[in-house]
């Protein structure tokens, strides 16, 4: 089904900053000479926007609606900063259709068009909305598309609640030989005793905290330039943090 490559799905509640983390991880890995494909699996379709200079690339679902069987890889796969291979699954218009349908359509089309064999990524990063873990949103977990799953969280109650649901879903599907749970990524929001709160939650979930990302206003400064921190401020402490997380995730993926 797939050529040999590392495949990691990164989940998280909407607004937790997972797309920022994933795009910076993609940029950092690419700078290390690792071939990266990033697939945005959120109906907002903005996962890769800071890799493409603020330009929203056409989504797979929109292109399929317009071109149908005439859709080619050149219509749905684009090159971003540092040669990151960018794809956005897309979703229905608000209030109509299943929000996970874009993911299902995107995965099926990429497979049909032999995207992985063509672009030969060393690692595929799926950026997946984690407010619900059903339908298309569960595809990276349950259909053999991802080897490992990471969850971005903060110390906020709803973020941890979503993380707990994702961990439970991964374990449920993992018992059937699908993706395994790699751990949590703490994206700090400046909450009092945040380390301790997330540490206790991780212990209750019986998962590791893979990395703690400090809060830094440089993230917003980079995004105002429509760039990742890795591109806009390569010498910053935050860029180095993303690099360290990226290599950690790549090493985690290597264990599969």
Rama region for 196: left / alpha / beta (φ>0; ψ in -120 to 50; rest)? alpha
Give the domain range for residue 239: 6-254
Number of domains in the chain: 1
Q: For the sheet containing 209-213, what is the strand order?
A: 78-79, 85-88, 36-41, 123-129, 6-12, 148-153, 180-187, 209-213
Any domain includes 41: yes
pTM reported for the whole predicted model:
0.92
Cα–Cα dist 150/111, whole Å: 23
- Which tens digits make up the pLDDT trace of 204-229? 999 999 999 999 999 999 999 999 99
The set of catalytic residues is 13, 18, 44, 131
Question: Tell me: the pLDDT tens digits for 135-154?
Answer: 778 888 887 889 999 999 99
- Confidence check: pLDDT of 114 > 90: yes
Q: Identify whether 1 is part of a domain.
A: no
Between helix 194-205 and helix 157-174 the angle, nearest 10°, is 20
Mean pLDDT (the chain, rounded): 91
> Tens digit of pLDDT for each residue in 69-110?
999 999 999 999 999 999 999 976 655 556 677 788 899 999
CATH number for position 68: 3.40.50.300
């Amino acid at each position: 089904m797939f050529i040999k490559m590392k495949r990691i799905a990164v989940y998280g509640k909407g607004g937790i900053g997972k797309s920022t983390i994933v795009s910076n991880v993609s940029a950092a890995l690419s700078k290390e000479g690792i071939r990266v494909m990033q697939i945005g699996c959120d109906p907002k379709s903005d996962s890769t926007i800071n890799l493409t200079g603020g330009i929203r690339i056409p989504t797979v679902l929109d292109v399929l609606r317009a071109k149908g069987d005439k859709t080619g890889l050149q219509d749905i796969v684009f090159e971003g900063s540092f040669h990151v291979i960018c794809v956005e699954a897309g979703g229905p218009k608000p209030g109509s259709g299943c929000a996970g349908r874009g993911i299902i359509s995107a995965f099926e089309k990429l497979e049909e068009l032999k995207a992985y064999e063509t672009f030969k990524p060393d690692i595929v990063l799926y950026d997946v909305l984690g407010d619900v873990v059903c339908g298309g949103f569960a595809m990276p977990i349950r259909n053999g598309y991802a080897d490992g799953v990471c969850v971005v969280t903060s110390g906020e109650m709803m973020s941890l609640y979503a993380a707990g649901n994702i961990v439970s879903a991964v374990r449920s599907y993992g018992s059937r030989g699908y993706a395994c749970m790699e751990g949590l990524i703490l994206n700090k929001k400046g909450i009092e005793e945040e380390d301790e709160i997330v540490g206790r939650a991780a212990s209750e979930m019986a998962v590791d905290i893979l990395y703690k990302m400090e809060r830094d206003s440089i993230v917003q400064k980079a995004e105002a330039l429509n760039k990742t921190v890795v591109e806009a401020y390569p010498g910053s402490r935050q860029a180095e943090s993303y690099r360290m997380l990226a290599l950690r995730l790549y090493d985690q993926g290597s264990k599969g």
